[in-house]
């Protein structure tokens, strides 16, 4: 089969069982391996759905400039789509996210503007958003998808990622856990899985230094892509039963273990998700099935502690 363009090949990533990170008394863990998605992350799905929804609604046209504040992967996804569809794209990012992210965005032909992260990632993301909205005020051709409040973000996961997981698993899923960036993943996949099994246990995961839902202080942390220090509008706060906290050290250790024990090379937030999934697998026990997402590829973390 030949795809007409790379966007047609987005999604349909494998669901893979972990074999050496769980014990015989634990539930099995299945991971949705988004590292091999087009664009190297789960966020190509949401970028595509946001842009195609905006096209259908007539919100964008050939002269549109797409401008988005993002801690990384959403920007890479939008830059890729801009390249294929011919939209000029400007990505506004905290300067604390990995250098690889900037380079990837630029190599897709998009522009990067950096905002200084002075130690509070939430303030920095707010400043990125203010910059984007100001650009939209000054130029009517600017369209800001606003992933934190765009319903097409969580819809991509409810209608696509979540349905893929259900089809691939082909059996009941008893637990799901996910870190929260925009909340699109936990909301969309959570709603899709809960619609089929209302008794499913769902955990929201927060980095220790950005546990805003847990009422803790927000600082900076290494689990980039989640814990942006804001409570996103599209997050369905009723979808999760519990909130668990994962430290940077636990996330790094789990990400390294995924590579060494399972051959799954992925980013730090994937470590976050698996650290929590291992706890959930112990709690639910043998015979049950837990699902989580490995959100992106490790290859955008060479400059971070994941490779030290």
Q: In this chain, which of 22, 89, 146, 182 binds ligand PMP, going by CB under 6 A?
A: 182
- Torsion angle of the four alpha carbons 223, 226, 173, 249, in this order, in degrees rounded to the nearest 10: 20
Please check whether residue 132 is in contact with residue 92, taking contact to mean a CB–CB distance below 8 angstroms: yes
Please check whether residue 164 is in contact with residue 291, taking contact to mean a CB–CB distance below 8 angstroms: no
Q: Do the annotations mark residue 179 as ligand-binding? A: no
Q: Do the annotations mark residue 183 as ligand-binding? A: yes
For the beta sheet containing 88-94, the strands, ordered from the edge strand earlier in sequence to the opposite edge, are: 111-115, 88-94, 65-69, 142-143
Residue with smaller CB distance to ligand PMP, 208 or 296 = 296
User: Does the annotation mark 85 as catalytic?
Assistant: no
Element (H, E) at 249: helix 248-262
Phi, psi of 261, deg, nearest 5: -100, -25
Sole window of 55-63, 179-187, 192-200, 212-220 interacting with ligand PMP (rule: CB under 6 A):
179-187
Question: What angle, 0 to 180 degrees and rounded to 10, lies between the N-to-C axes of helices 73-85 and 99-107?
Answer: 10
Is residue 296 near ligand PMP by the rule CB under 6 A? Answer: yes
Is residue 181 near ligand PMP by the rule CB under 6 A? Answer: yes
Please check whether residue 46 is in contact with residue 153, taking contact to mean a CB–CB distance below 8 angstroms: yes
Lay out the site mask for ligand PMP across 84-123 (x = CB under 6 A, - = otherwise).
----------------------------------------
Catalytic residue among 32, 43, 85, 194: 43
Nearest to 176 by CA among 205, 153, 208: 205
Is residue 269 near ligand PMP by the rule CB under 6 A? Answer: yes
Q: Do the annotations mark residue 181 as ligand-binding? A: yes
Residue with smaller CB distance to ligand PMP, 281 or 295 = 295
Q: In this chain, which of 75, 145, 179, 227 binds ligand PMP, going by CB under 6 A?
A: 179
Instruction: Indicate the DSSP class of residue 41.
Output: B
Residue with smaller CB distance to ligand PMP, 155 or 180 = 180
User: Does the annotation mark 269 as catalytic?
Assistant: yes
What burial class does residue 223 get, using C-beta atoms within 10 Å of its C-beta: 0-12 exposed, 13-18 middle, 19+ buried? buried
Sole window of 70-78, 94-102, 117-125, 164-172 interacting with ligand PMP (rule: CB under 6 A):
70-78
Quote the least distance from Cβ 177 to ligand PMP, whole Å. 12
Is residue 11 near ligand PMP by the rule CB under 6 A? Answer: no
Please check whether residue 264 is in contact with residue 35, taking contact to mean a CB–CB distance below 8 angstroms: yes
Length of the chain: 308
Binding site for ligand PMP (CB under 6 A): 41, 43, 72-74, 179-185, 225-226, 267, 269, 295-296
Q: Indicate which residues carry an active-site annotation.
A: 43, 269
Binding residues for pyridoxal 5'-phosphate: 73, 181-185, 269
């Amino acid at each position: 089969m030949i795809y007409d363009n790379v966007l047609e090949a987005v999604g349909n990533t494998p669901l893979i069982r972990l074999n050496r990170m769980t014990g015989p008394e634990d539930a099995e863990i299945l991971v949705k391996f988004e590292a091999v998605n087009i664009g190297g992350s789960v966020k190509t799905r949401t970028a595509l759905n946001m842009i195609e929804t905006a096209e259908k609604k007539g919100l964008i046209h050939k002269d549109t400039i797409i401008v988005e504040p993002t801690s990384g992967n959403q920007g890479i996804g939008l830059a890729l789509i801009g390249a294929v569809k011919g939209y000029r794209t400007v990505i506004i990012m905290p300067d604390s996210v990995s250098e690889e992210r900037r380079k990837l965005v630029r190599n897709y032909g998009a522009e990067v503007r950096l905002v200084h992260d002075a130690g509070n990632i939430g303030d920095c993301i707010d400043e990125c958003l203010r910059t984007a909205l100001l650009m939209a005020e000054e130029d009517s051709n600017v369209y800001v998808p606003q992933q934190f409040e765009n319903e097409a973000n969580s819809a991509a996961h409810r209608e696509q990622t979540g349905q893929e997981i259900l089809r691939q698993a082909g059996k009941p899923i008893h637990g799901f856990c996910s870190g929260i960036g925009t909340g699109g993943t936990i909301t969309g996949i959570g709603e899709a899985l809960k619609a089929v099994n209302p008794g499913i246990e769902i955990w929201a995961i927060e980095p220790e230094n950005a546990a805003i839902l847990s009422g803790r202080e927000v600082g900076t942390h290494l689990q980039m892509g989640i814990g942006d220090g804001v409570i996103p509008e599209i997050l369905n706060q009723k979808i999760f039963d519990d909130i668990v906290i994962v430290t940077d050290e636990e996330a790094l250790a789990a990400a390294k273990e995924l590579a060494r024990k399972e051959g799954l090379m992925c980013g730090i937030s994937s470590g976050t998700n698996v650290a929590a999934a291992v706890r959930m697998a112990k709690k639910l026990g043998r015979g049950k099935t837990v699902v989580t997402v490995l959100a992106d590829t490790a290859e955008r973390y060479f400059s971070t502690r994941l490779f030290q």
